[in-house]
Structure 1
Amino acid sequence: MLKTFNGILKNNSIQWVDETPPVEFDASVKVNVTLLEEITINKSQSNGQKMAEALTKISQNNNFANVNPQKWQQENRLDRYIPERD
């Protein structure tokens, strides 16, 4: 009778979850592997095109058109005053 062992396929090797099959270390064993979940590739990678479109929309709003960058930096920076820099 065939016995089923639960494992995780990672980097082309199987990590056993519950019970480890009784196999000698250097022995070869024929296995059948059934993937129980759909494989998703690069799901965690960001979509650069969507980010570029979002940044373009933000830049078209001109939200910072009336902001003086030098004054904003002086008001918001956390470093100490340095003579002759301002």
Structure 2
Amino acid sequence: MKGSRLEWIDDIPELGEQMLQVHVTFLDDKPFVESKTRGQRMAEILENLAATQVLGNVDPVLWQQETRQDRSLLGR
């Protein structure tokens, strides 16, 4: 947005003279989490997730067999 006009970053939609309704959200210039602490915070979250052992009772081989199903190939 520049002033009161929107500028397209990617390809401009082909609308001709047709009007397009858009919703604009203004974001703060500052990142929500400082980039220096972002990695540290992510590591803490992953450590907490690992400590809960939510997936500790899942047999990975059995899970893969249940989840993955081979599809029949066309013409074979």
TM above 0.5, yes or no, is: no
**Larger helix proportion of the pair:** 2
Normalising by the smaller structure, the TM-score range is: 0.3 to 0.5
**Larger strand proportion of the pair:** 1
TM-score (norm 1): 0.40
| Greater relative CO (CA pairs within 8 A, separation 6+) | 1
TM-score (norm 2): 0.44
